Amino acid sequence: MTNLEYKCQLCGTCCHEIPGEYVKRIPIYPDEADRLIEIAKKRNVDFRIIEDLVFPDIKNEKIMVLTYRIRLDNESKGCPFYSKTTGCTIQDVKPLACQAYPLALKRLDAFNFAISIDPLCNFVIMNYDELEKTDLEKLREIFKEEYPKAENFYRKNKKLMFKIRKLEVTNKIKIPHEINLENFNDYLKRWNRTEIRVN
- Residue 104 pairs in a beta bridge with 116
d(CA 47, CA 81): 8
Among 47, 55, 68, 81, binds ligand SF4 (CB under 6 A): 81
Among 68, 82, 143, 187, binds ligand SF4 (CB under 6 A): 82
Residue 69: how many CB atoms within 10 A of its CB?
19
The answer to the question of residue 13 lying near ligand SF4 (CB under 6 A) is yes
- Taking the complex as a whole, how short is the minimal distance between the CB of residue 88 and ligand SF4, in angstroms? 3
d(CA 140, CA 10): 21
- Taking the complex as a whole, how short is the minimal distance between the CB of residue 144 and ligand SF4, in angstroms? 14
Show the site string, 107-126: x = touches ligand SF4 by CB under 6 A, - = not: --------------xxx---
Among 39, 40, 88, 198, binds ligand SF4 (CB under 6 A): 88
The answer to the question of residue 194 lying near ligand SF4 (CB under 6 A) is no
Torsion of CA 93, 50, 71, 153, to 10 degrees: 40
3-state class (DSSP) for residue 183: helix
The answer to the question of residue 102 lying near ligand SF4 (CB under 6 A) is yes
The answer to the question of residue 72 lying near ligand SF4 (CB under 6 A) is no
- Taking the complex as a whole, how short is the minimal distance between the CB of residue 110 and ligand SF4, in angstroms? 26
65, 196 Cβ separation under 8 angstroms: yes
Task: Identify which of 141, 129, 135 has the alpha carbon closest to the alpha carbon of residue 3.
Answer: 141
d(CA 114, CA 135): 14
The answer to the question of residue 39 lying near ligand SF4 (CB under 6 A) is no
Give contact residues for ligand SF4 (rule: CB under 6 A).
Answer: 8-15, 26, 79, 81-82, 88, 90, 94, 98, 101-102, 121-123
